[in-house]
Chains A and B, each alone.
Chain A
Amino acid sequence: DTAVSQTPKYLVTQMGNDKSIKCEQNLGHDTMYWYKQDSKKFLKIMFSYNNKELIINETVPNRFSPKSPDKAHLNLHINSLELGDSAVYFCASSQLFGGDYGYTFGSGTRLTVV
């Protein structure tokens, strides 16, 4: 059983389109995150949700909108895609706001905007 699963794994789309990435965790964790990894492997947090409530919202364009229908799911919707959005997006989860626990990451979604 995959602990944190993301779909799709690959996403190629044209500029200006709207796309969504889905994430689900079956670990019973309360907190979920979205991270963006650029071409230089730099990982930056975008959002975190705790039990469906938005907790961290880094400086991310408002074209990015996370949605958490329940604590096991955190989806990412991106409007009006731009070339600079091309990256690998990782979903992660943890217990209790992270605390003294490690994060469990999904395998990533490689987004390519052409």
Chain B
Amino acid sequence: SQQGEEDPQALSIQEGENATMNCSYKTSINNLQWYRQNSGRGLVHLILIRSNEREKHSGRLRVTLDTSKKSSSLLITASRAADTASYFCATAALTGGGNKLTFGTGTQLKVEL
């Protein structure tokens, strides 16, 4: 079954505004990752946060993780038109075969000029 649910499903903002996407998951994890997918392209890894971390920054990205609530958020500050894409959270959990990455349902972000 799907591990992560993302909220909102779609988000439309103006350039320069901040965009916040949320992700909830169901089981214990080793880490949580965020990916971006531009239309018709592959996924690009953005940031990884370990289960013992609460917050992480990378450039204009800020990720938080609350393992007690099994949730994470991705904040993109000062958004640009080039940030228009789908964003997926993915949870990594140990299985009998090593870490398995399970993706959420995605948030479609549109940044308008």
A residues with a Cβ closer than 8 A to B are 4, 31, 33, 35, 41-45, 48, 50, 55-56, 90, 92, 97-108
Nearest CB on A from B104, distance (A): 9
Whether A102 touches B98, Cβ cut-off 8 Å, given contacts A42-B105, A107-B42, is no
Asked whether B98 lies within 8 Å of A45 as measured between CB atoms, the reply is no
- What 1/0 flags go to B38-51 for Cβ under 8 Å of A? 00111111001010
27 contacts between A and B (CB under 8 A): A33-B101, A41-B86, A41-B105, A41-B106, A42-B2, A42-B105, A43-B88, A43-B103, A44-B103, A45-B102, A48-B100, A50-B97, A55-B98, A56-B97, A56-B98, A90-B43, A98-B92, A98-B98, A98-B100, A99-B98, A99-B99, A101-B48, A103-B33, A103-B43, A103-B101, A105-B35, A105-B42
CB neighbours (8 Å) of B86 from chain A are 41
Main secondary structure of the interface of A (DSSP, over half): strand
B residues with a Cβ closer than 8 A to A are 2, 30-31, 33, 35, 37, 40-45, 48, 50, 86, 88, 92, 95, 97-103, 105-106
Give bound CA distance, A43 to B37, whole Å: 12
Q: Which of A4, A41, A97, A104 meets B98, CB within 8 Å?
A: A97
Asked whether A108 lies within 8 Å of B30 as measured between CB atoms, the reply is no
CB neighbours (8 Å) of A90 from chain B are 42-43
CB neighbours (8 Å) of A50 from chain B are 97-98
CB neighbours (8 Å) of A100 from chain B are 30-31, 48, 50, 92
A-B contact count (CB 8 A): 68
Asked whether B100 lies within 8 Å of A105 as measured between CB atoms, the reply is no
CB neighbours (8 Å) of B99 from chain A are 97-99
A43, A44, A45, A99 pick with most chain B CB within 10 angstroms:
A43
Asked whether B42 lies within 8 Å of A103 as measured between CB atoms, the reply is no
Give bound CA distance, A47 to B51, whole Å: 25
CB neighbours (8 Å) of A98 from chain B are 92, 98-101
